[in-house]
Amino acid sequence: MYNVPNILTISRIALIPFIFLSIFFTSSSYAILALIMFIVASITDYLDGYLARAWNETSAFGRLLDPIADKLLVATALVVILAKPGMYTFSCTVIPVFVILCREILVSGLREFLREVNVGLPVTKLAKWKTAFQMVALGMMLGKDVHQNWNYLGEFMLWVAAVLTFITGYQYYQKSLDYVRAEEAKKVKAVKEVKIAKEDIVVSEAAAESAKQASEKTVAKKTVKAAKKTTAKKTTAKKSAAKKTASKKA
């Protein structure tokens, strides 16, 4: 469990509290330190997956912890940007922050739901571009004290990341919705098949009942006909006997 890729993932989580502390330590030196820690954490985000695949050290622990570490890192950086005074120039910058946070929650929920039914939600190329813009934007905004223009460029890239975030979030939602629709269609089809089967059973039972009644009527007719023949024979026999008796008397 504690291989190199997983240790990198754990180290990324370990750096998060120190990045969060930049809200309270407002000196330029700590801002630069927070930027360095964020860059290191972002690099481990790439390295842990790459090394796990290259060294064939993928594990359930890594698959569990890696997306959690990613979201914790992004959420922490966004909270720092919102909570620390002077982190953004334009008040509307809170909009992409809100969009990114909502998307992270949405995708986490969708993946959790689809994992229960063994349906994957693979990362798209557009989502990888989103992550790249997002990480660079957050790094520039965290390190705004390093260069005066970084803040403006970081806010612009954060808007680009927010647009990509919205698009990829909708794509993931659409894929999940397609699965839900397919499952609902299966249920409707199954209900229809059961209904048709029940109707077939009812029709078959009705046909069997009709056949039974027709058979009973046929048997009854034959019985009546046979009874009439028997009665006619008996009557004929009585007449013949009467004639014979009369002839003897004569």
Does 209 map to a domain? no
Residue numbers of the domain that contains 131: 4-190
Question: Is residue 26 assigned to a domain?
Answer: yes
19 within domain boundaries: yes
241 assigned to some structural domain: no
* Model confidence at 122: pLDDT above 80: no
Angle between helix 94-116 and 60-83 (nearest 10): 160
Q: Is 222 part of a structural domain of the chain?
A: no
pLDDT band at 224, cuts 50/70/90? Answer: low
Q: Is residue 179 in some structural domain?
A: yes
Indicate which CATH number applies to the domain containing 141. Answer: 1.20.120.1760
Please identify which residue in the block is written with the tokens 């269609």: 185
Band (237; pLDDT cuts 50, 70, 90): low
Give the separation between CA 182 and CA 188, rounded to whole angstroms: 10
Does 2 score more than 80 pLDDT? no
Separation of alpha carbons 158 and 221, rounded Å? 93
- Residues 135 and 40 sit within 8 Å (Cβ to Cβ): no
Residues 77-86: pLDDT tens digits?
Answer: 999 999 988 8
- CA 172, CA 110: separation in Å to the nearest integer? 8
Please indicate, yes or no, if residue 247 is contained in any of the structural domains: no
- How far CA 65 is from CA of 134, 179, 248, in Å, comes to 20, 26, 122
pLDDT of 236 > 80? The answer is: no
User: Residue 243: inside a domain, yes or no?
Assistant: no
Residues with Cβ within 8 Å of residue 138, at least 6 apart in sequence: 38, 74, 77, 78, 81, 154, 158
pLDDT at 173 over 60: yes
Q: What is the pLDDT of residues 80-118, one digit of tens each?
A: 999 988 888 888 999 999 999 998 888 888 877 877 777
**Does the structure show a pLDDT above 80 at 234?**
no
Q: Which residue is it, tokens 């969708």?
A: 110
What digits encode the pLDDT tens for the residues 33-47? 999 999 999 999 888
Number of domains in the chain: 1
